[in-house]
Amino acid sequence: MIALRVNGTEHGVAAPPATRLSAVLRDHLGLTGTKVGCDAGDCGACTVLLDGAQVCACLVPLAQAEGRAVATVEGLAASPLGAALQAAFQAHGAAQCGICSPGMLMAAMELLASTPRPDEAQVQAALGGVLCRCTGYRKIIEAVLAVGRASVAPPAGAVGESLPRLDGPGRLDGTELYGADTAPADALWLRPIRSPYAHARFVIGDATHLPVRLLTAADVPGRNGFGIYPDIKDQAVFAPGLARYRGDCVAALVGERAAVEAVRWDDLPITWEELPPQGAAAALSGPALHERWPDNVLTTGRLRSGEAAPPATHTASGEWQTGCVEHGYIEPEAGWARRVGDQMEVFGCTQAPYMDREEVAGVLGLAPAAVRIIPSACGGGFGGKLDVSFQPLLAVAAWVTGRPVRAVWSRGESLASSTKRHPASIQASASCDAAGRLTRFAFEGLYDTGAYASWGPTVAGRVPVHCMGPYRVPFVRSRARAVLSNNPPSGAFRGFGVPQAAIAQEMLWDQLADQAGLDRLEFRLLNALRVGDTTNTGQTLEASVGLVECLEALRPHWHALRAARCSTGRRRGGVGVACMWYGIGNTGMSNPSTMRLVLAPEGRLSFFNGAVDIGQGSTTVLAQIAAEALGLPVAALSLVLGDTGLTADAGKTSASRQTFVSGRAAQAAGAALRDAILLRANAGANARLTLADGVLRVDGVALRLDAPLEGQGSFDPPTVALDADGQGLPYATYGFAAQLAALEVDLELGTVHLQRIVAAHDVGRAINPMLVEGQIQGGIAQGIGLALMEEYLPGRTENLHDYLMPSIGDVPAIDCILVEAREPLGPFGAKGIGEPALVPTAPAILSAIRDATGAVVRRVPALPHRVLEALREQRMGEALREQRSGVAS
């Protein structure tokens, strides 16, 4: 027994002295508020106070906590300072998915205990050891700075009001349950066995010597394959003899936890034959990775628009390469499954419960109705939790053992196995006339889709439609190919290939603007799409095209930032601008959502919402919409959230679609219930509803019910599938945005120092401005990562100290400007924001680097050595030009 004091309570723990304090708190004391993100001190999610000093609990052996005081998030509310800090996080929207919040809060507690009124630099130094992937840190800094200062009462939550998150409190006191936080007490453990080779044949021999069961392809009762597309189930639960990437799952150990964890690599009866791996470029002429795609081209997306290009005066062209980017959610994949008779239940983190249900049913050979998916809180997703991970493995294990089975991926396993943003190689060229009007744009994109299809077809579909950006271009030829390789499967990641394409498109505009002698912002304004324009897919935009307003809103900031550019000896200041558009919802295919409100006779008003809130705020926003349509305050709603056994299919949380699609369904559900109530009360359309003490009143008159009243709403955005030339109506509406980036480049070191981002986003209508800003700031942080530091290299950056994501000091001040060009189809005029936030950031940063130095960065991430290389090329080019002009004269 080792004694320690946690949040003032003495505990004796019977665990080995080397046990990590994080495991002691979670597994032995049940204090799961402390989260584990990496077990390596890299993410800070497990930050607790040890005798008042912040430490990563994953780096503290139990023995060293003996006799000491440990403070965790569960104890915060008991102290006035802790409660004030939690309140500030809630009021300022500092928690999104909430997985980093306990660590952030504890780090802030250490600071505030010694420095009650810190400045921003002190906050950054104190919180610098905790990574957040959702918020972009700005609201966290605001919250810490606001502690102890006067606060205003939160609004009731009408549409347009910054209602604090409804699910916020549980994320700030440690009670919210994520995938790794709970499981049946008798659950077995599952540990996947993954290929350490990018490409290998393997044979699994007799495993009877192992103390636990080894599950292999032979144990899968149904189809040994899963995948996003109904007709592409190419990724095996357990690969049958051929591993196609480092991290491919070949088998799994299942048994009691200690026995599973005691198995060593060398104990495994697996013999490997390494095969030469191929990247996407080589795969175009290499042997087929899958029989089904002999040329390794998974999908080709095309767009042909315009018969002939108008005459042009200026032309620019270039090639760009983007890196393999990890989603980097701080919550690794985790959950549990149990067999209930001939049915299966799976609990865990996900973005797409109904799609998980299909996959689990498929691998078990069951009807979907025999599977129930119960989503846990989701500690970040960004597209990475749209694909299944643990679900099919746990379902197979629970099915064949008859026991509940749980699993928690380690960080290294999560990095190795999960999908990534497609690395892209892009060639593009564009022309404009003498006045700067765009005449043509050509785009050829090679997207490395990795070992399995995942969302590759979606990326190849979206890119050709978006790659010319939100501009009037009379003649476009674009092609994007998703090519299979022995890299990790590339899947869905915030923007589905569009952020990569936007880099090429916006860099060309800068070159053309210079050639035409136009201001770069005015060049974009001149060419910007407007209401009434027809896009290159042949779609006429009838409403809600706010790009011009975005650019006009940025103009004063543009001039001010440009005037303030400061160039000292070794540093050069620059300001960049970039725009984007983004189709909300699936591309040219159905993606419905259904929402339901039920008023029970005893007065309980339940909102059945199957949309998974992965931190972006749909739980709050959809409640605001439903309540507004119904005519009652948000507080009147009891929430029943995403569970395929209780809620209807709201579709996946992706494609920036929940506010728009599910929001419209929620609005319809609210209106339907209101109609039902008014009909029953025989009241007029403007009647006022109230709900108090279980009694609904219509214009003050109590409404008696003997049966529940229900309002259901569905919405499926109207689209027309694209034809072979990319013609059709791919999306019912589009988000538009423009961002500015101001920065300095160190000419000698190639380092980039961001100073400010100004982001103007047309969101149709900001249902909850604070949450919209949170999405914008978080998207920008990921855009910064894409531009400047993130690059996943299998086997080399398989942890969060070698794979770099922006830390608190890497995100500059951000000004958000919300433009509201109402979308008639959207709920109260709203459309999506999740992905649009990220798309323009990287091109704006590259635009600013070029403005500062003249150098065109052609490969992201723009690590210092690459920027310096680009600067050298730029200087050599200049010298050559001078030499030539010297010869000519």
Task: Specify whether the CB–CB gap between 204 and 270 falls below 8 A.
Answer: yes
Please provide the DSSP assignment of 699-722 as one string. TTEE---SS-EEEEEEE----B--
Shortest Å distance, C-beta 433 to another protein: 41
Shortest Å distance, C-beta 264 to another protein: 6
Question: Among candidates 830, 770, 819, which has minimal Cα distance to 154?
Answer: 770
> Cβ closer to another protein: 111 or 605?
111
Shortest Å distance, C-beta 251 to another protein: 12
Exposed e or buried b per residue across 542-560, where buried means at least 16 C-beta atoms within 10 angstroms of its C-beta: ebbbbbbbbbbbbbebbee
Please provide the DSSP assignment of 376-419 as one string. -B-S--TTTTSS-SHHHHHHHHHHHH-S-EEEE--HHHHHHHS-
> Cβ closer to another protein: 43 or 432?
43
β-pairing verdict for 69-71 and 2-6: parallel
CA geometry: angle 346, 347, 350, nearest 5 deg: 105
> Cβ closer to another protein: 56 or 405?
56
Q: How crowded is residue 53: how many other Cβ atoms within 10 Å of its Cβ?
A: 9
Strand order in the sheet with 242-243: 242-243, 200-204, 270-274
Whole-angstrom distance, CA of residue 788 vs CA of residue 782: 10
Shortest Å distance, C-beta 27 to another protein: 7
Q: Which helix (H) or strand (E) covers residue 663, if one does?
A: helix 663-681
Whole-angstrom distance, CA of residue 800 vs CA of residue 557: 35
> Cβ closer to another protein: 222 or 279?
279
Task: Specify whether the CB–CB gap between 742 and 848 falls below 8 A.
Answer: yes
> Cβ closer to another protein: 149 or 264?
264
> Cβ closer to another protein: 163 or 868?
868
Shortest Å distance, C-beta 613 to another protein: 28
Whole-angstrom distance, CA of residue 624 vs CA of residue 629: 9
Question: Among candidates 796, 798, 807, 785, which has minimal Cα distance to 860?
Answer: 785
Shortest Å distance, C-beta 38 to another protein: 7
Residue 566 tokens, joined: 């400061």
- φ/ψ region of 67 (left if φ > 0, alpha if ψ in -120 to 50, else beta) reads left
Residue 407 tokens, joined: 């699993």
> Cβ closer to another protein: 61 or 154?
61
The DSSP bridge partners found for residue 326 are 420
Shortest Å distance, C-beta 382 to another protein: 19
Shortest Å distance, C-beta 55 to another protein: 5
The DSSP bridge partners found for residue 432 are 314, 438
> Cβ closer to another protein: 566 or 749?
749
> Cβ closer to another protein: 424 or 863?
863
Shortest Å distance, C-beta 241 to another protein: 20
Provide the CA 613 distance to its chain's centre, in angstroms.
Answer: 11
* CA dihedral (701, 702, 706, 710) positive or negative: positive
Question: Among candidates 464, 223, 486, which has minimal Cα distance to 360?
Answer: 223
Peptide bond preceding 861 in cis form (omega within 30 of 0)? yes
Shortest Å distance, C-beta 823 to another protein: 37
Shortest Å distance, C-beta 164 to another protein: 28
Shortest Å distance, C-beta 184 to another protein: 16
In degrees rounded to 5, what are phi and psi of residue 827? -70, 120
> Cβ closer to another protein: 147 or 579?
147
> Cβ closer to another protein: 116 or 556?
116
Whole-angstrom distance, CA of residue 866 vs CA of residue 818: 34
CA geometry: angle 662, 99, 616, nearest 5 deg: 20
Task: Specify whether the CB–CB gap between 308 and 475 falls below 8 A.
Answer: yes
Shortest Å distance, C-beta 490 to another protein: 19
> Cβ closer to another protein: 340 or 793?
793
Exposed e or buried b per residue across 573-585, where buried means at least 16 C-beta atoms within 10 angstroms of its C-beta: bbbbbbbbbbbbb
Strand order in the sheet with 438-450: 297-305, 475-484, 438-450, 424-432, 314-321
β-pairing verdict for 242-243 and 200-204: antiparallel
Shortest Å distance, C-beta 416 to another protein: 7
Whole-angstrom distance, CA of residue 470 vs CA of residue 821: 15
> Cβ closer to another protein: 107 or 140?
107
> Cβ closer to another protein: 265 or 885?
265
In degrees rounded to 5, what are phi and psi of residue 135? -90, -20
> Cβ closer to another protein: 801 or 884?
801
> Cβ closer to another protein: 41 or 474?
41
Question: Among candidates 90, 415, 359, 349, which has minimal Cα distance to 223?
Answer: 359
Cα→Cα distances 582→235, 498, 763, Å = 29, 8, 11
> Cβ closer to another protein: 1 or 153?
1
Shortest Å distance, C-beta 59 to another protein: 4
> Cβ closer to another protein: 58 or 738?
58
- Own/partner pairs for 695-699, CB < 8 Å, 24+ apart? 695/603, 696/599, 696/603, 696/605
Question: Among candidates 553, 579, 575, which has minimal Cα distance to 563?
Answer: 575
Shortest Å distance, C-beta 248 to another protein: 13
Shortest Å distance, C-beta 400 to another protein: 22
Shortest Å distance, C-beta 258 to another protein: 5
